[in-house]
A = this chain, B = another copy of it.
Amino acid sequence: MSPRPDVSEERKQQILEAAIAVFARLGFHASRMDDIATQAGLSKGALYLYYKNKDALIVALLKYFFTQEMKHLRAFVEANRDEAVAEQLLLLTRQFSATMQSMIDLMPISFEFYALAGRDGEIRQFLQEYFQEYRRDLARLIERGIERGEFQPVDAQATAVTIAALYEGLALLHFVDMQAFQWAAQAETSIQLLLAGLRPIPLHK
């Protein structure tokens, strides 16, 4: 419509990606608006044309960050509908492993968000919604497994929470000590342990 295409969205994205890089390296507090501007190849003033202030940039980052995550989960669920549920969970775990490997540098950002969630209502609410969706998607999967007779008739909600917790906890432990275990193998072993408890008890050998 406009003769010049709107560069506004492009700029916002450019700034957001610069912010991710800087925040991951230095943390929210130690990151200067100047650092982000430099990283984005813009001036400090330009940042304020696109984001009201540093906090607004952090919140925008939060949303971008976890929305991406959710998209990945959705895309995966969509793509693997037809597999056996246990198989889907295994594949999901593998994808989670792969994602984690490439996102390890960004994990401090997540922890800062979790810490902020304790003090900032907006951030807390967003994260709550994110995890709600996450659990809901997992719960649906579990329910399908039960319906199909793959799993015992466990509490799907509680099992979804357990799986989500396992993922988050593994990511945390891995982040703190990358030497402690082989990430991909451990994630698979952990989920297998859980699946072992979910499978129906064989009636006879």
Contact = CB atoms under 8 A, between A and B. Distances in A.
Interface of A: 24-29, 105, 107-109, 111-112, 114-119, 124, 127-128, 131-132, 135, 154-155, 157-159, 161-162, 164-170, 172-173, 175-177, 179-181, 185-186, 189-190, 193-198, 201-205
Given A128-B177, A135-B180, A165-B172, A26 B204 contact: no
Contacts of A111: 111-112, 114-115, 118
Nearest to A181: B161
A181 B25 CA distance: 34
A124 B197 contact: no
A169 B165 contact: yes
Nearest to A189: B158
A127 B176 contact: yes
Nearest to A24: B118
A118 B108 contact: yes
A76 B99 CA distance: 37
Contacts of A177: 124, 127-128, 131-132
A173 B180 contact: no
Given A194-B194, A198-B193, A173 B164 contact: yes
A145 to B, nearest CB: 13
Nearest to A182: B158
A190 B203 contact: no
Contact of A114 (B128, B155, B172, B204): B172
A71 to B, nearest CB: 20
A132 to B, nearest CB: 7
B128 A176 contact: yes
Contact of A168 (B109, B127, B173, B190): B173
Nearest to A105: B118
Nearest to A135: B180
